[in-house]
Structure 1
Amino acid sequence: MESHTIKGLERVGNIEIYFEYDRIDDSLPTLVLLHGFLSSSFSFRKLVPHLIKEYNVISIDLPPFGQSGKDYRYTYSFRNIAKSVVMFLEGKGIRKFSIIGHSMGGQISLQLIKSYPDLVDHAILLAGSGYQPGYSEKMKMVSYLPFFSYGIKRYLQKSGIEKNLKNVVHDPAMIDDEMRQGYLGPFIKKHDIFRALGRMLRDKEIDLLKEDLSDIHTPCLLIWGRHDRVVPLSIGERLHEDLPNSELVVIEDSGHLLPEEKPEEVYQLIKGFIGVATPT
């Protein structure tokens, strides 16, 4: 079957959400892809061509990243972002799906499952972050100061795209101009994202605690890169211990950016975990 990609912006409450919908067949299971911090649906570009062989795939740019809205009035807590994702999917008539969350997308996936357990069939966390506290009150107060957003912008510019990319992959030889532009692009077009990041700093809640995670019975596949320097394997091992219905798989010769580094292996693991629809 041939697929076609629908792209667009959808207003959900007081924010616009950018999506890419790779649709094959309405009878197939639906996968919802949520990217990580400072990223976008671009990070799944190597994984999606594999997934659309077996599934309907929706990639979402989480506010304020990628092409989604960066409205300063939006509440950028992970719980509210998860709510916006659910509202977006309901607007598309999607009320049952599996979710794939990379890094921060894993944190938001867990918030979504916790709040809406009946909507999610399976969860796949690709180096899903967790156990992070909220920011200090002092940091939150500082974020209100004039020019704070310029400070965030200056920090990211100083750290540099090359250094950041080398930190998230195991083999730096895979970094090319397409990759550099794909991750840097959204940050050179508008200053609004830096103001929104200040708001996100204030809105972020404490991650789900052990007792919260123990109440999640959705089947969870945790996939980790052996050499992840951003969200170390120890986080995956801890999540595996705290999530009662979870499985942990470690991929060798890989870092944090699993969808970029090992798309074929990730696809095979997802397919084995979820299965595929049986034609009627």
Structure 2
Amino acid sequence: MSDKDTTYRVNVNGVDVFYEYYRHPYAKETFVLLHGFLSSTFSFRHLTPLLKQDFNVISIDLPPFGNSEKSNKFIYSYENLGKTVIKLLDQLNLQDIYLAGHSMGGQIALNIMKMKPDLVQKGILLCSSGYLKRMKWHVSMLSYIPFFHLYIKLWLTRSGVRKNLENVVHDIQMINDEMMFGYLKPFLDDDIFKALTRMIRDREGDLTVPDLKEIQTPCLLIWGKHDRVVPLNVGERLKKDLPNSQMIVLDETGHLVPEEKPEEVKQHILSFIQGNNKVLEGQPG
């Protein structure tokens, strides 16, 4: 726990989980934020200050990312990550939350809505991953090779932080030193690469169409029109398969919507939560 009483690290489901918790003096409703692959709570650094004006906000570093434990024993399936979030929220005695997930975090959010639908009032999917298959068997087998984690480290080093960021934002002018270091910092610990090796092995496929059709939680899908990581057609498929969903498409925006358009994202979220559909008129999907 920090001096400012906003950051915590607790053991949940056999792994140490780091999270930020901002308590609003008057709000009763809580927002829970789940980041994407190779990311952390850092990716919500522009959205969190906006949401905490109106809500309690919890932003979680999903293991093995950010400041959470990089265990080589934890099962890094999306289902187990979802169970870990559920157990953390149970420890905090939280119910009827608003759950927002970006990219991989969106798929984990969907798992949570499927496993414990009464936990989530409404879901917000920010360029959520979807329809990805289980890792090919030969890649999973390769993960058992000693020192395979060094190949992962080499691959990430070669691709580079800046190149990866240029792929996830529409306007590369927004990339600065603070942004690059924020996304680089968690990977200065070599244990992350061993945990990612385990994640490759544990990663199951995304939820199937029948699974998605069972989810009755109202969901707002917010997508970047120029998303090159999870293209818009994935969002359109999710909107079709999630029975109670709406969709917003943001112009001049890539994959990293919480960074690129935090003000617009917040306004769409507020309209969705308040049941105001005016903001949705004229939007694709």
TM-score bucket of the superposed structures, by smaller chain: over 0.9
Task: Look up the SS of the partner of 1:265 in the other structure.
Answer: helix
SS in 2 for 1:267: helix
| SS in structure 2 of the partner of residue 214 of structure 1 | helix
What's the secondary structure of 2:64's corresponding residue? coil
For 2:30 and 2:13, locate their aligned partners in 1 and report how far apart those are by CA, in whole Å: 23
How far did 1:26 drift?
A: 5.9
Q: CA deviation at 1:191?
A: 1.1
Q: Which residue of 1 aligns with 2:143?
A: 143
The reply to whether residue 174 of structure 1 matches residue 156 of structure 2 is no
- The farther-off stretch of 147-156 and 5-14 is 5-14
| Residue of structure 2 equivalent to 1:74 | 74
What does residue 214 of structure 2 align with? 215
| Cα offsets for 1:23-57 (capped at 9, x unmatched) | 10364210000000000000000001110111100
User: What is the TM-score when the length of structure 1 is the normalising length?
Assistant: 0.95
Letter in 1 for 2:155: Y
Q: In structure 2, what is the equivalent of residue 113 of structure 1? A: 113
Deviation readout 1:207-257 (Å, 9 max, x if unpaired): 111111111110000000000000000000000000010001000010000
CA distance in 2, matches of 1:146, 1:51: 44
Are 2:2 and 1:23 equivalent residues in the alignment? no
Aligned partner of residue 16 in structure 2, secondary structure: strand
Identity %, equivalent residues:
53
- Distance, in Å, in 2 between the alignment partners of 1:250 and 1:233 is 8
3-state SS, counterpart of residue 140 of structure 2:
helix
Please state whether the residue corresponding to 1:17 is helix, strand or coil.
strand
RMSD of aligned alpha carbons: 1.1
1:37-186 aligned within 5 A: 37-186=37-186
Q: Contact 2:27–2:55 at 8 Å: present in 1 too?
A: no
SS of the counterpart of 1:100? strand
How far off its partner does 1:14 sit?
A: 1.3
Task: Determine if contact 2:29/2:56 at 8 Å carries over to the other structure.
Answer: yes
Give the alignment of 1:194-205 within 5 angstroms: 194-205=193-204
User: Who is 1:239 aligned against?
Assistant: 238
The question of whether the paired residues in 1 share the 8 Å contact of 2:27 and 2:54 is answered with: no
Residues of 2 paired with 1:250 and 1:25: CA distance? 33
Unaligned runs of 5+ in 2: 276-285
Deviation at 1:5, TM superposition (A): 5.7
How far apart, CA to CA, are the structure 1 residues paired with 2:25 and 2:143? Answer: 46
More divergent stretch after superposition (262-271 vs 26-35) = 26-35
Contact 1:226 1:255 in 2 (8 A): yes
Moved more, 176-185 or 19-28: 19-28
Bigger drift between 55-64 and 133-142 goes to: 133-142
Question: For residue 213 of structure 1, what is the amino acid of its counterpart?
Answer: L
C-alpha displacement at 1:79, in angstroms?
0.3
CA–CA separation in structure 1 for the residues paired with 2:209 and 2:14: 32
Rounded to whole Å, the distance in 2 between the matches of 1:245 and 1:31 is: 20
* Contact persistence 1:28–1:56 (CA under 8 A): yes
Q: What amino acid is the match of 1:105?
A: G
1:8 is displaced (CA, Å) by: 1.3
Letter in structure 2 aligned against 1:273: F
CA drift at 1:96: 2.3
Task: Tell me the residue number matched to 1:250.
Answer: 249
Q: Is the 8 A contact 1:5 1:23 kept in 2?
A: no
What's the TM-score, normalizing by structure 2?
A: 0.94
List gaps (5 residues or longer) in structure 1.
none
The number of aligned residues is 272
Cα shift at 1:95 = 2.4
Match of 2:282?
A: none
Match of 1:263 in 2: 262
Matches of 1:209 and 1:44, distance apart in 2? 28
State the alpha-carbon separation in 1 of the partners of residues 203 and 13 from structure 2: 19
SS at match of 1:178: helix
Contact kept? 1:51, 1:57, Cα under 8 Å:
yes
1:186 Cα deviation after fit:
0.5
SS in 2 for 1:16: strand
